Amino acid sequence: MKTIEQLLESKNIRVTAMRLLIYKFLAEKEIAVTLSDIENAFEKADRTTLYRTIKTFEENVIVHQIDDGTGITKYALCEEGCNCDIKNDLHLHFHCNNCNETICLTEHKIPQIKVPDGFVSENVNLVVKGICDKCSG
Residue ranges that bind Mn ion, judged by CB under 5 A: 76, 104
- Write each residue from 48 to 87 as x if it is in contact with DNA (CB under 7 A), else as -, in one continuous string: xx-xxx-xx--------------xxx--------------
Strands 33-34 and 74-77 come out as antiparallel
Site string for its own copies, 35-64 (x = CB under 8 A): ------------------------------
Q: Is residue 60 exposed (0-12), middle (13-18) or buried (19+ Cβ within 10 Å)?
A: middle
For residue 55, which amino acid is it?
A: K
Q: What does R_g of the chain's alpha carbons equal in angstroms?
A: 16
The one-letter amino acid code at 35 reads: L
Closest distance of CB 90 from DNA, Å: 19
Minimum distance of its own copies from residue 7's CB (angstroms): 27
The yes or no reply on residue 27 touching Zn ion (CB under 5 A) is: no
Q: Cα 60 to the chain's mean position, in Å? A: 12
What is the Cα–Cα distance from 8 to 20, expressed in whole angstroms?
9
Q: Give Cα 38 to chain centroid, integer Å.
A: 13
Binding footprint of DNA on the chain (CB under 7 A): 13-19, 34-36, 45-49, 51-53, 55-56, 71-73
Binding footprint of its own copies on the chain (CB under 8 A): 67, 69, 71, 73, 92, 94, 97, 105, 107-108, 111, 113-133, 136-137
